[in-house]
Amino acid sequence: MNIAIVGPGAIGILFTTMLSKAGQNVCLLDHDKQRVDFISKNGITVDSKDKTYNYQVKITDKAGDLQDIDLFIICVKSYDTKDAAMSIKPVLKDSSLVLTLQNGLGNIEIISEILGQERVIGGVTNQGANVISHGKIRHAGFGDTVIGKTDSKIPAYLRDIREVFNKAGIPTRISKDIRALIWSKLIINVGINALTAITHLKNGQLLEYEGTRNILCQAVSEAMKIVKRKRIKLIYDDAIEKTEAVCEATAQNISSMLQDVLKKRKTEIDYINGAIVKQGQSLGIHTPVNSILMDLVKSIEASYNKTVCDKEG
């Protein structure tokens, strides 16, 4: 299978490496020419459990270099989804498929509008990875990947992708209700990501303090009001209990949003807590805690280059 992975983040790099090692023809698309040159020369380094390995991969900064691609995997931040979809549109063939493995809400809709709903596949991955530096990641957690169509159909190509991923050591299954999976992951991110970005706490530390634990519960509870109104069936029964369990299971993790804040990068707040606020507004459901979390993270972003306080005296 000819595969192009769009986005050089931790998950994009991880999937590029694992699929390439399994013998698939994979190319990584990265808009940053300097990073492309670095990875072309030095390859990708993956720290995984007790071992580190280096692997040479194909990489380009020009979408036009991607020819005869069977599967595009979108791994960019949600705010770059539109640009990513537009960049690959000219090189799609009639049978090309597009899989999104992104955080947040709305990516399937954006990609479908630009590239056509018939070719778009939704996905959620529980593989965990962190970027250490250019071309170097830490494979921090192992979990399953779930893919599916929003119309609940299971065409043969989903089984083909599942087989390719499984052979590459990426445990994958197919779901008839991929929206439920996306919402299930979103609710957990709503409780964890913004809070860690604001407090600079690791996931597990959110449960150590009464204040952060209370806010986590309130943010998730607000999101659940929307889930119930929209009649979405989540993959777990108790959203707060599940979010707290994820905090415990990933206690030492630095969330992706906190990583962005520490590196003074734009976050995906609009597509996580911001998505809950937007959905609440459309449904007439008040979401004050999520609104405050969104505003605080946006304020942090806006103040990256500001002096916190003067140094007089």
The domains found in the chain, sorted by start residue, are: 2-176 (3.40.50.720), 180-302 (1.10.1040.10)
- Paired tokens of 108: 């399937």
Task: Give the separation between CA 240 and CA 223, rounded to whole angstroms.
Answer: 11
The torsion of the CA quartet 172, 173, 175, 179, rounded to 10 degrees, works out to -20
pTM for this entry: 0.92
At CA 223, angle to CA 221 and CA 224, rounded to 5? 65
Q: Which of 40, 46, 38 is nearest to 27 (CA)?
A: 40
Residue 131 binned pLDDT confidence (cut-offs 50, 70, 90): confident
- Paired tokens of 293: 């979390």
Contact between 276 and 226 (Cβ < 8 Å): yes
Which helix (H) or strand (E) is 128 found in, with range?
A: strand 128-133
Rounded average pLDDT over 48-66: 91
| Statement: residue 313 has pLDDT above 50 | no
Instruction: Identify the top-confidence range among 45-59, 242-256, 280-294.
Output: 280-294
Rounded average pLDDT over 94-109: 96
Indicate the SS3 state at residue 138: strand
The torsion of the CA quartet 275, 270, 92, 57, rounded to 10 degrees, works out to -120
Question: How confident is the model at residue 311, as a pLDDT?
Answer: 46
Radius of gyration of the chain (CA): 19
